[in-house]
Chain A
Amino acid sequence: MPSKWNFGTIGLKLATILGFLFIHIPIFIIIMYAFSTDEKTFQFPLPGFTFKWFGVAWDRNDIWEAIILSSQVATISTILAIILGTLACLAVYRSKFFGREVISFLVILPIALPGIVTGISLRSAMSLFGIPFSTWTIVIAHATFCIVTVYNNVLARLRRSSHSMVEASMDLGANPWQTFRFVILPNIATALLAGGMLSFALSFDEVIVTTFTAGQQSTVPIWMLTEFIRPRQRPVTNVVAVFVILVTTIPILVAYYLTKEDEGGKK
């Protein structure tokens, strides 16, 4: 940048630093509270430091049940999202037909509309058709809004990879399946993995749509929400919060590194 643009640099830097502190500090505070010896309040400074709550949380069956359900839901939804998203990408990326914009719009809609709308509409459909709540109703809901992460990641990768490789493969006598298996798939593999990771994190964390489609079962976020409203053991909630931070942060970091080369515009 030209150096005469200096007039506000210090102010900008300050605003950026403050902004970043604002969006990061609360997460560290949660982590800190997981080690507090204080059982009843959110007292600061912390009266003491302990690992005790991790042990207590470990022994709680309800937490394990929630974690298992969340993992199941996130895994199945991600697989569904990968299948649906990837197939659609393969159809869309090389063809310029009327539906392309429509499909992108349709895929974004479940996360662009307020979560409450997605939640209540799925809920109302389930009640209208008398579908009982189960793990599958949660999966159906989650897969619907997870498709977008896979779709966007894979489509971005396909657009950046050159089509001449596919043509070369066909020229060399490979059939379409072989071309997909040995040329396209390795090319989009990291984008698929990244999209899948994001979709897993998205599903693992979703609460609004889940409250409408879960019935009596608790996923981890539902469990947490119940604890916020009617706390049983506050420090245990803090421990679960730290666990959730890890489960959602790690896939995001992995996804970021897997798609990093995409950002530069070159493969």
Chain B
Amino acid sequence: MTNTLDKFFTFLFYRKGLAIFLLLAPLLIWLGVVYLGSLFTLLIQSFFSIDSFSGVIKREFTLESYYDLFRQSTNWDIILRTTTMAFTVTVVSAIIAFPIAYYMAMYAGPKLKPILYLGVMLPLWSSYLVKVYSWKLIMAKEGILTWILEKLGLLHLLDVILSIPVIGGTSLSFSYIGMFLVFVYIWLPYMILPIQASLERIPKSLLEASSDLGGGPAQTFRKVVLPLAFPGVVAGSIFTFSLTLGDYIIPTIIGNSSYFIGMAVYTHQGTAGNIPLAAAFSMIPIIIMMVYLMIAKRLGAFDAL
């Protein structure tokens, strides 16, 4: 048995092409059939329609679901609301993440650096649901945040913020501000790491050269550091943007029950059983992400990943 196996391996060893093919085949079959196949059925299903009386899916090519999708202004609201949130979360995450990443890459010593790195990795990987839940505790009316603000005498400030139209609400955990806060919290590590990696890769000699040539710190930062770190920011933004676009847990648990794309997709397929409409709806984040990834590629983000 082992002998045959040996012979088989040796046989393969001299046929590199075949060996590579056999090694790759399982993965390609899996991702090709299971994943790409599913994406493809999603695309096909988005061209099916549902019989509104019987609830049976009609397997004929039609643009009905797309028509339904774009006809209703509430759906446009959902798309606009989700992309605005994704965009705002991305910009604010980048602003908060940059100084942290900068400190990690440029100032932290060899002892501190791995600690900081792990300090970003742990929250990134640790349970998403638990993290969302912890904010529910924090932002609850009787919870820790209210308590702190009360002790600081700033409770009226919270009321002022919550009274702002659109983004405010009855309490922090039922408002866009609360949702926004949780999104930034959850995705921030995804932004810090790529920026840090891109800053890490800037050769120190470039900074020295800049200052030798008479560039002040601010000038060096603006003309050397920032352009070289920008692909890292774009790389990070892919995560924050895509993850916000597709999330439906945070808007379900925190927020004022206005719909986001993910929730709409979930409801259409689940409660309504309207898979064609859900499929058409989920084409929107796919298209937005494809455009986004194309722009990101232009900006060199893939080299920074």
Contacts of B116 in A (CB 8 A): 16, 20
Contacts of A84 in B (CB 8 A): 26-27, 30
Interface residues of A in 69-113 (CB under 8 A from B): 83-85, 87-88, 90-92, 95, 97, 99, 103, 106-107, 109-110, 112-113
- Given the known inter-chain contacts A113-B286, A117-B286, please indicate yes or no for A16 contacting B242, CB distance below 8 A: no
B133 sits at the interface (CB 8 A): yes
Contacts of B96 in A (CB 8 A): 15, 19, 22
Min CB gap B235→A, angstroms: 11
Do A24 and B246 touch across chains, with their CB atoms under 8 A apart?
Answer: no
In the bound complex, what is the Cα–Cα distance between A241 and B97 (angstroms)?
A: 27
Do B289 and A42 touch across chains, with their CB atoms under 8 A apart?
Answer: no
Do A23 and B134 touch across chains, with their CB atoms under 8 A apart?
Answer: no
A258 sits at the interface (CB 8 A): no
Q: Mark B3-39, 1 if CB is under 8 A from A, else 0.
A: 0011001101100100111011011101100111111
Contacts of A55 in B (CB 8 A): none
Contacts of A106 in B (CB 8 A): 28, 31, 35-36
In the bound complex, what is the Cα–Cα distance between A118 and B12 (angstroms)?
A: 36
| Among listed B68-76, B152-160, B258-266, interface-contacting one | B258-266
Contacts of B5 in A (CB 8 A): 177
Q: Mark B240-262, 1 if CB is under 8 A from A, else 0.
A: 00110111110011000000011
A121 sits at the interface (CB 8 A): yes
Contacts of A44 in B (CB 8 A): 142-144, 146-147
Interface residues of A in 11-28 (CB under 8 A from B): 11-13, 15-16, 19-20, 22-24, 26-27
A172 sits at the interface (CB 8 A): no
A138 sits at the interface (CB 8 A): no
Do B144 and A1 touch across chains, with their CB atoms under 8 A apart?
Answer: no
| Among listed A156-164, A184-192, A224-232, interface-contacting one | A224-232
B299 sits at the interface (CB 8 A): no
Do A87 and B24 touch across chains, with their CB atoms under 8 A apart?
Answer: yes
- Given the known inter-chain contacts A20-B119, A87-B23, please indicate yes or no for A175 contacting B9, CB distance below 8 A: yes
B278 sits at the interface (CB 8 A): yes
- Given the known inter-chain contacts A24-B119, A42-B140, please indicate yes or no for A128 contacting B31, CB distance below 8 A: no
A196 sits at the interface (CB 8 A): no
Contacts of A13 in B (CB 8 A): 103, 107
Q: Mark B99-138, 1 if CB is under 8 A from A, else 0.
A: 1101110110000001010111111011111110111111
Min CB gap A10→B, angstroms: 11
Min CB gap A210→B, angstroms: 11
Do A4 and B211 touch across chains, with their CB atoms under 8 A apart?
Answer: yes
- Number of A residues near B (Cβ < 8 Å) is 89
Please name the residue on chain B nearest to A7 by beta carbon: B217
Min CB gap B5→A, angstroms: 6
Interface of A is mostly: helix
In the bound complex, what is the Cα–Cα distance between A118 and B39 (angstroms)?
A: 8
Contacts of B13 in A (CB 8 A): 175-176
Contacts of A207 in B (CB 8 A): 128-129, 249
A48 sits at the interface (CB 8 A): no
In the bound complex, what is the Cα–Cα distance between A127 and B159 (angstroms)?
A: 47
- Among A23, A143, A175, which residue has its beta carbon within 8 angstroms of that of B189? A23
Most buried by B among A26, A87, A120: A120
- Given the known inter-chain contacts A116-B285, A124-B279, A208-B249, please indicate yes or no for A26 contacting B35, CB distance below 8 A: no
A35 sits at the interface (CB 8 A): no
A212 sits at the interface (CB 8 A): yes
Contacts of A143 in B (CB 8 A): 30
Q: Mark B212-243, 1 if CB is under 8 A from A, else 0.
A: 00000100000000000000000000100011
- Among B133, B204, B217, B286, which residue has its beta carbon within 8 angstroms of that of A237? B133
Do A228 and B133 touch across chains, with their CB atoms under 8 A apart?
Answer: yes
- Among A19, A90, A121, A249, which residue has its beta carbon within 8 angstroms of that of B38? A121
Most buried by A among B103, B121, B140: B103
Min CB gap A148→B, angstroms: 10
- Given the known inter-chain contacts A11-B99, A176-B13, A207-B129, please indicate yes or no for A228 contacting B136, CB distance below 8 A: yes
| Smallest CB-CB A-B distances: 9 pairs | A114-B246, A91-B23, A15-B99, A26-B134, A121-B42, A42-B140, A121-B38, A125-B38, A88-B27
* Interface pairs (11), CB distance under 8 Å: A19-B97, A19-B99, A41-B142, A91-B24, A92-B24, A99-B24, A106-B35, A112-B242, A175-B6, A198-B125, A221-B128
Q: Which of B's residues lie within 8 Å of A, judged by CB? A: 5-6, 9-10, 12-13, 16, 19-21, 23-24, 26-28, 30-31, 34-39, 41-42, 44-45, 96-97, 99-100, 102-104, 106-107, 114, 116, 118-123, 125-131, 133-138, 140, 142-144, 146-147, 185, 188-189, 192, 204, 207-208, 211, 217, 238, 242-243, 245-249, 252-253, 261-262, 265-266, 269, 275, 278-279, 282, 285-286, 289, 293
Q: Which of A's residues lie within 8 Å of B, judged by CB? A: 1-2, 4-5, 7, 9, 11-13, 15-16, 19-20, 22-24, 26-27, 29-30, 33, 41-45, 83-85, 87-88, 90-92, 95, 97, 99, 103, 106-107, 109-110, 112-118, 120-125, 127-129, 140, 143-144, 147, 175-177, 198, 201-202, 205, 207-208, 211-212, 221, 224-225, 228-229, 237, 241, 244-245, 248-249, 252-253, 256, 260, 263
